[in-house]
Amino acid sequence: MSRQKNPEPTAPAQNLNVPMAQFFELKKTPFPQILTPKDMLVLPQLKAVAEMTEFAFHNSMFYAVIGAVGCGMSVEFKPYQPSVMVRLIQERLMAIQNDGKKCIVIIDEAHLLRPDVYAQLHILAQHPEARNSLFSLMLCGQEELAEKISTPQSRPLLSRIAEGYYVSALSHDDFDDYIDHHLQLAGARHEVFEPLGREAVWQCSNANLRSIGNACLAAMQYAANNDIRMVNAECVRKSQRAWWHDASTHALPPAWEARHE
């Protein structure tokens, strides 16, 4: 009678990537998609938007913030008739105003609204029994928003927008502060990027916050997987090439190569 062999023990599953935070001695992964207000870096753009928003809010005005992609809940409504929906919203806004409170309505991704919505938004803020405008409105969206609110159909809304702000790309100094800030939040105790590594991130990110974070994370993961203790330009280039399968898009200019040889 043959003896049945004991099954071989199953090896524990191994991660394909080296744990990045552990490799760089961080407390957590840097550049998270969601930050609490206390952890935000107060960039010049953020301060300007906050000041203008406060002004518009205290004066019951409308306000627009426009920027490129990457410069931050969908809700399902019952199929109300538009006129019923307007009445219900205005009743609620009137109740808020009668309580001595002010209301601000913030519409993110506003460039995705249908053209007819821009023509009707201002109606919500008007009521014959209201002491003044029922709410301040803040529109946030990509570059197309500027075009959409400038059409003849949207003219009533545009005439009520007191101020607008275009979120520009980061300066190089703000870029360095942004990387330092997120690495400090993650608990970095030493330099993670070489100077030329930072320059490579600057080049491939177009000074866009989301792209900066993604490029840094990809380069850090490449460095961890290859036991490179400080992220250099090669880590950035290799990680970007692997992601986009393009060996030329993110190459450093020859001047940088010669300068640092």
pLDDT of 46-98, one tens digit each? Answer: 777 677 666 666 666 665 666 665 554 222 333 345 566 677 778 888 888 88
Q: What rounded mean pLDDT belongs to the chain? A: 77
* Encoded amino acid at 128, one letter: P
44-48, 215-219, 250-254: which range is least confident on average? Answer: 250-254
Q: pTM value? A: 0.60
pLDDT at position 192 is: 95
Topology match between the domains 44-71+78-167 and 170-259: no
Per-domain residue ranges of the chain: 44-71+78-167, 170-259
25-39, 141-155, 161-175, 244-258: which range is least confident on average? Answer: 244-258
Q: Which CATH class is domain 170-259?
A: mainly alpha
Q: CA–CA distance from 150 to each of 56, 134, 158, 239 (Å)? A: 20, 23, 7, 41
pLDDT at position 257 is: 43
Query: Domain 44-71+78-167 carries which CATH code?
Result: 3.40.50.300
Max avg pLDDT among 1-15, 187-201, 243-257:
187-201
pLDDT at position 7 is: 53
